[in-house]
Structure 1
Amino acid sequence: MREVKETAAWRQNGFLALLALLLALLWLGWAGYRLVGEKELFYLWHLISALLASGLLAAGLFTVQPNEAVALVFLGRYVGSVREEGFHFANPLAQRKRVTLRVHNFTSDKLKVNDAHGNPIEIAAVVVWRVVDTAKALFQVENYQSFVAIQSEAAIRALASRHPYDAEGRSLRGNPEEIAEELKAEVQERLKVAGVEVLEARLTHLAYAPEIAQAMLRRQQALAVVAARRLIVEAAVGMVKEALLGLEAQGIALDEERRAAMVNNLMVALVAEAQAHPVMNVGTLYT
């Protein structure tokens, strides 16, 4: 397939062409008046020529609005685009196709896909885009707006399948900025054939599928509890170590049995979820 790229089309100031059109209309009126009065073939040719000139000049006039482009197609060939806003005159026999250059938003539906760990998830994203090459947008793809929608959803599915929903490393939930940049690059690569520039791409919805949402919630809660208990145990070990070092610094020596008992009691008091109830040791009764 031959690649078509945007080029600048030949054009002229529309007001100059409008002035020429007025002159052609005056010529047309003069020829018609003389033909009615004298009925000579000479004035008939003038009338036909003035009529053709007026029609061609009128057909070649068009306007371009801000952030809009007009692509010209003459005899089945693309001959260029006009991007400058204002009143223009171009080839009157060329077909004109208008393309908006304004920024568009595409918001995908909630897609159900499997993440890198095989868990079913729901994901959706918004893609901000605009046309930067009118020729590619019109002639490289069938319908560039539909092409943007389909390829954006394909990129979202591909992204979700490469990353887990939630993990210690890079994940969809844990690294939103990196995921957004990767999604933007993925969509841009797919849409460059259509002359489209992606300005931003970002996830708008991310959740486990309903059938596993409760199970994954319990799993997340269990992981959170384990992490909290690990932190508590690590802190308790540090506190017990500081207590033993403090006793040694004060010159209080404990034998191995009492040291073990003290460590056990402190760990129970610091780690236990229930409130600790101290037991007072009054000594050992010897007979």
Structure 2
Amino acid sequence: MNSTKESSAWKINGFGVLPILLLFLGISSWYLFPFVLFEKALAGPQLWLGSGLFAMAGILASGFFLVDPNQARVLILLGKYIGSIREPGFYWTIPFIVSKRPVSLRVRNFNSERLKVNDAQGSPIEIAAVVVWRVIDSAKATLDVESCRDFVAIQSETALRSLANRYAYDIFDNTQESLRGNPDQISDLLKQEVQRRLDVAGVDIIETRITHLAYAPEIAQAMLRRQQAIAVIAAKERIVEGALGMVEMALHRLSEQQVVDLDEERKAAMVNNLLVALVSESSTQPIINAGTLYT
């Protein structure tokens, strides 16, 4: 696809042409005023001169235009792009045959609808995002796409769907990125994805942010129980891992400092007691061994 690139258009200060317009209007009024007001007959040269000057004033007037702050004008001459004007002010350019299309350069927001998609694990989720954008190339935004605003909306939602399909809603092992667990990284990836799709429209993406993320209502309760189960398993793994480390450290210190000499059977009993005490969710009651009573 042939891409249009923005360039500067020819124009002059409108206040420089305005006196010429007023001069033409003044002279034409001088000739035509008696005829219009008093219905006096005019000589042929006077009528033609007055009418010609009035027509030229009308032609000159069609060349004036304003450029507001944070706005651009795209100029098209006989179906060909001839440039854009970004600087605010009052200008004059080729009259009649030039189309002067306004393009807003202001920062704008796009709030997506809540999209229902499947994440990387196949679970249906609801996701929405806000995209902050602005036009940086007025020629592309006007001539290369049908409607810049609609193009931004459709491509942003497409990028959001694509990103949601590549990542899981949540992962508890911290080895992979997830939509819920890595919001900043996901936002950066979404910005890159949207920017890649909108370069053709001359749009710059300032920021993207996930505004809504949840499981679909029909599986929300089931997934909540699944999350709780996964969280419990992950917590148990951490507890067991920590308890084993503490038991290993205790046995090593006892052996190193020769506090007590334990055989394999007593080591096994001690490991069992320590693991029960460390892993148990309820507080344990110690039993003091006061020795053996012989009768």
Fold shared, TM-score > 0.5 on shorter chain: yes
Q: Which stretch shifts more, 271-280 or 89-98?
A: 271-280
1:141-156 equivalence runs, <5 A? 141-156=145-160
Matched, 1:209 2:216: yes
Matched, 1:193 2:193: no
Deviations 1:93-152 (A, max 9, x none): 122211110011101011000011111111111111111122221121111111110111
1:173 equivalent among 180, 188, 191: 180
The residue aligned with 1:255 is 263
The residue aligned with 2:163 is 159
**For 1:98 and 1:234, how far apart are their aligned partners in 2?**
66
- In structure 2, relative to structure 1, the CA distance for the partners of 1:277 and 1:188 (3 Å cut) is same
The residue aligned with 1:275 is 283
1:140 equivalent among 132, 144, 147: 144
Say what the alpha-carbon RMSD is for the aligned residues: 2.0
Matched, 1:235 2:239: no
- In structure 2, relative to structure 1, the CA distance for the partners of 1:245 and 1:33 (3 Å cut) is closer
Deviations 1:72-103 (A, max 9, x none): 22333332222110111112212221111001
1:42 equivalent among 45, 50, 53: 45
The residue aligned with 1:81 is 84
Superposition deviation, residue 3 in structure 1? 3.1
The residue aligned with 2:13 is 13
**For 2:236 and 2:247, how far apart are their aligned partners in 1?**
16
Superposition deviation, residue 38 in structure 1? 7.0
Q: Is the 8 Å Cα contact of residues 188 and 208 (structure 2) preserved in structure 1? A: yes
Q: Which stretch shifts more, 80-89 or 277-286?
A: 277-286
Structure 1 gaps of 5+ residues are none
Superposition deviation, residue 279 in structure 1? 2.7
SS in 2 for 1:124: strand
**For 1:182 and 1:283, how far apart are their aligned partners in 2?**
67
Superposition deviation, residue 45 in structure 1? 1.9
Deviations 1:225-264 (A, max 9, x none): 2222222222222332333334331442122222222222
The residue aligned with 1:126 is 130
Matched, 1:223 2:230: yes
Matched, 1:61 2:64: yes
SS in 2 for 1:21: helix
SS in 2 for 1:152: helix
SS in 2 for 1:214: helix
SS in 2 for 1:92: coil
**For 1:172 and 1:131, how far apart are their aligned partners in 2?**
29
**For 2:251 and 2:78, how far apart are their aligned partners in 1?**
95
Q: Is the 8 Å Cα contact of residues 128 and 200 (structure 1) preserved in structure 2? A: yes
**For 1:123 and 1:158, how far apart are their aligned partners in 2?**
12
**For 1:216 and 1:86, how far apart are their aligned partners in 2?**
59
Q: Which stretch shifts more, 144-153 or 222-231?
A: 222-231
Q: Which stretch shifts more, 92-101 or 273-282?
A: 273-282
Q: Which stretch shifts more, 35-44 or 23-32?
A: 35-44
**For 1:242 and 1:185, how far apart are their aligned partners in 2?**
49
**For 2:121 and 2:244, how far apart are their aligned partners in 1?**
36
Superposition deviation, residue 2 in structure 1? 4.0
Superposition deviation, residue 58 in structure 1? 1.4
What is the aligned-residue identity percentage?
A: 56
SS in 2 for 1:63: strand
Q: Is the 8 Å Cα contact of residues 115 and 121 (structure 1) preserved in structure 2? A: yes
Calculate the TM-score normalised by the size of structure 2.
0.90
Calculate the TM-score normalised by the size of structure 1.
0.92
SS in 2 for 1:84: coil
